[in-house]
Amino acid sequence: MCGICGVWDYGASEGSITPSLLARMRDEMTHRGPDDAGELVFDEGRGGFGFRRLSIIDLSAAGHQPMHGCDERTWLVFNGEIYNHALLRADLEKRGHKYASRTDSETILHLYEELGLDFIHDIEGDYGIALWDANKEQLVLVRDRIGVKPLYFYHKDGRFIFASEIKAILQHPAVTPDIDEQALYHYLTFLTTPAPTTLFRDIHKIPAGHLLTVKRDGTLNMQRYWDALPPKQIATGSEAEHRAEILRLLRDSIAKRMMSDVPFGVFLSGGVDSSANVALMSEQMSRPVETFTVGFSDAEYLNELEPARRIAKQFRTNHHEVIISEKEMHDFLPRMVFHQDEPIADPVCVPLYYVSKLARDSGTIVVQVGEGSDEIFSGYENYVRHLRIYENFWRHAEALPRSLRRAISNLSRPALEATGRKRAAIELIRRLGADEPLFWGGVVVYDETFKPRVLSSQVRERLNGLSSLRVVESYLKHIEQERPGSDFLARMTYLELKLRLPELLLMRVDKITMATSVEARVPFLDHHLVEYALALPRSLKVEGVSGKHILKRSLEEILPHDLLYERKRGFGAPVREWFREGLGGWFDEHLMNGTMRRRDLLDYGFVSRMLEEHRRKTRDWGFHLWALLNLSLWYERWIDS
């Protein structure tokens, strides 16, 4: 895992890119690569690459980047890992390619020299890739299939800038940071910004599974090379056959992600996914697995210390724990805003930082994490809840004339609001009447009826009726076009793999682990396992009121039965208490009196009422307020400064 950046002034008559500019951009990401640094100026000074290295494979100087191919006409900077590079290398060497290192980076170069853009179909891993091809006069950028690694770009006035993190792009003097109000609107809904937008105006991110080329004339071509669509035919076979194949694929994925020349371990919560990582990794090791767990001293109801200790004891791991409190959260917030680049309004970022720091301080550089399992095997209660609503009510109501649905919605919503029912129920009735889809994502914070109340009247006027439905519909229309007749669960899964998983969950893993110079690997998101899971019939994933059954049954031979079938406990943080207890005043200062208030983006009278209701414990607005606090701190750090 590394940090990459670059500039190409393709429209310039003469070059002005200097090594000092590239070094300034790259060194803003020193945390992504404390072990080595490099830069390259190309195209007669019109372009350049910068690189920070976190040494994982081939720790020698031979792994230095930027790296060139068989000649010096093709150059690479690369962030991530290619897990099948050794197999690819053997074939490439048979065909005459000469290697100068043991790195996976070099395999990318040789593949590109032989296959051109089709190289992307041969590699397996997590990556952000940039290639300069002097022969074709083109720049090539790639983000991995699932979106484990971020890659951002700025394109304006004959200039193209890219980087692993936005903060590196902001070091270029041509870039003036400002807020994108449409992205702000979607951030309030999804706790993150959907690709290709970011909260910074004119700065974009490459979507998962996409490849971008930039030509000499400034033409940008963004193409999808992999998609998370379910297959056209649902998988057949017995349940026993599926259990065996899932376990085989997961074993293979974990083995691939043990590829490392530095110490590695597992973040262990004691839940199904992290425990499976420990169990399957321990099978393949002659020494104890290094495991890491975080807990709270002031929110014991969130702690997963005991189940983690149980798994650590069963598999005889070398176990490490860190306990944090409100104080650690307060201490980390300024650095969190720096490392996130744009708000990732998930309070899990706080404990994730401290468990990552624990790993790094212990000498562990690579960790495996459990993200992705719940998405591909339908493990969240929210998925099952929406599925039941759809089966028992929604699909029947959708068959009614639209005018009747609208009338029912208009009559029932005021009655529901008068009874004090949860906002979620009121929003679903609104969607039914408006002929909108039932499911918009695993986490929707400010819905379309509530969101306008927190925005200022000026912003609402400028946005002119914008709806986050635009984001949801773009994905749902695509799956309906490509896989007509796909079932409701398949559509939910597709939406999650395009939006929440890459842009919220995986983004937080990348940004926060890299803040401590730790590389996180995601075995449940090996694309072979993902494709297999997407092909499974719904009956193997969801039974009754719970999901993830086929995975749990696959793991019955290696994990305790009660662990597999106890109610899921998500990785959380006590955001509700943080706003009610000791740090409430500090939160008020930065939320209610921060510099963003001068921009008049929010209705602070309404925000004040939310705070008061939360403090009086009449409503729990913890996540809503956390999203606004993250936004305000981000604005102070990146826009106002």
Mean pLDDT of the region 498-505: 97
Most confident of 48-52, 90-94, 618-622: 48-52
Residue 627 phi, psi dihedral angles, 5° rounding: -60, -40
Quickly state the pLDDT bin for 411 (edges 50, 70, 90). confident
C-beta separation of 317 from 282 below 8 A: yes
Q: Pairing state of beta strands 519-521 and 366-368?
A: parallel
Q: How far is CA 564 from CA 13, 156, 293, 314, 491, in A?
A: 63, 52, 19, 15, 26
Q: Of 421 and 522, which is predicted with more confidence?
A: 522
Of the candidates 116, 119, 121, the one whose C-alpha atom is nearest the C-alpha of residue 133 is 116
Mean pLDDT of the region 147-155: 98
- pLDDT number for residue 571: 72
Token duo for residue 230? 């379910």
Quickly state the pLDDT bin for 302 (edges 50, 70, 90). confident
Determine the Cα–Cα distance for residues 253 and 637; give it in Å rounded to an integer. Answer: 39
Which amino acid would we find at residue 229? L
- pLDDT number for residue 66: 97
Of the candidates 218, 29, 41, the one whose C-alpha atom is nearest the C-alpha of residue 128 is 29
Spell out the alpha helix ranges (H) of 348-456.
349-361, 373-377, 381-389, 395-398, 402-418, 423-433, 451-454
Q: How many residues appear in the chain?
A: 641
Determine the Cα–Cα distance for residues 198 and 212; give it in Å rounded to an integer. Answer: 17
- pLDDT number for residue 578: 84
Of the candidates 115, 148, 155, the one whose C-alpha atom is nearest the C-alpha of residue 131 is 115
Mean pLDDT of the region 494-501: 98
Q: Which of 111-125, 446-460, 566-580 has the lowest mean pLDDT?
A: 566-580
Determine the Cα–Cα distance for residues 508 and 524; give it in Å rounded to an integer. Answer: 17
Mean pLDDT of the region 7-35: 96
- pLDDT number for residue 79: 97
Determine the Cα–Cα distance for residues 447 and 451; give it in Å rounded to an integer. Answer: 6
C-beta separation of 185 from 463 below 8 A: yes
pLDDT(507) > 80:
yes
Determine the Cα–Cα distance for residues 373 and 380; give it in Å rounded to an integer. Answer: 10
Displacement of CA 65 from its chain's centroid (Å): 26
Quickly state the pLDDT bin for 479 (edges 50, 70, 90). very high
Quickly state the pLDDT bin for 419 (edges 50, 70, 90). low
Give one DSSP letter per residue of 104-135, joined into a string: HHHHHHHHHHHHGGGGGGT--EEEEEEEEETT
Furthest-apart CA atoms within the chain: distance in Å: 75
Residue that is written with structure tokens 């590394």 in the block: 2
Q: How high does pLDDT run on average in the chain?
A: 94
Quickly state the pLDDT bin for 577 (edges 50, 70, 90). confident
| Three-state DSSP class for residue 422 | coil
DSSP state of 581: S
Q: Pairing state of beta strands 203-205 and 138-143?
A: unpaired
Mean pLDDT of the region 602-608: 95
| HEC profile of 76-112 | EEEEEEECCHHHHHHHHHHCCCCCCCCCHHHHHHHHH
C-beta separation of 170 from 338 below 8 A: no
C-beta separation of 34 from 517 below 8 A: yes
Per-residue pLDDT reduced to its tens digit, 67-88: 998 889 999 999 999 999 999 9
Of the candidates 438, 451, 365, the one whose C-alpha atom is nearest the C-alpha of residue 405 is 438
153 CB neighbour count, 10 Å cutoff: 24
Quickly state the pLDDT bin for 570 (edges 50, 70, 90). low
Per-residue pLDDT reduced to its tens digit, 214-240: 999 999 999 999 999 999 988 999 999
Instruction: Decide: residue 492, CB within 10 A, 0-12 exposed, 13-18 middle, 19+ buried.
Output: buried
C-beta separation of 492 from 9 below 8 A: no
pLDDT(620) > 70:
yes
Determine the Cα–Cα distance for residues 422 and 429; give it in Å rounded to an integer. Answer: 12
Write the CB contacts of 625 (distance below 8 Å, at least 6 apart in sequence).
Answer: 575, 579, 587, 591, 607, 610, 611, 614
Mean pLDDT of the region 31-48: 97
pLDDT(423) > 90:
no
Fold of 2-179+193-224: Glutamine Phosphoribosylpyrophosphate, subunit 1, domain 1 (3.60.20)
Of the candidates 213, 216, 219, 224, the one whose C-alpha atom is nearest the C-alpha of residue 141 is 213
pLDDT(130) > 70:
yes
Instruction: Decide: residue 420, CB within 10 A, 0-12 exposed, 13-18 middle, 19+ buried.
Output: exposed
Q: Which of 294-308, 383-397, 429-443, 552-566 has the lowest mean pLDDT?
A: 294-308
Which amino acid would we find at residue 521? R
- pLDDT number for residue 437: 96
Question: Where along the chain do its domains lie?
Answer: 2-179+193-224, 239-378+497-565, 381-496, 575-640
Quickly state the pLDDT bin for 572 (edges 50, 70, 90). confident
- H/E stretch holding 321: strand 318-324
The structural architecture, per CATH, of the domain 239-378+497-565 is: 3-Layer(aba) Sandwich (3.40)
453 CB neighbour count, 10 Å cutoff: 13
- pLDDT number for residue 307: 93
pLDDT(582) > 70:
no
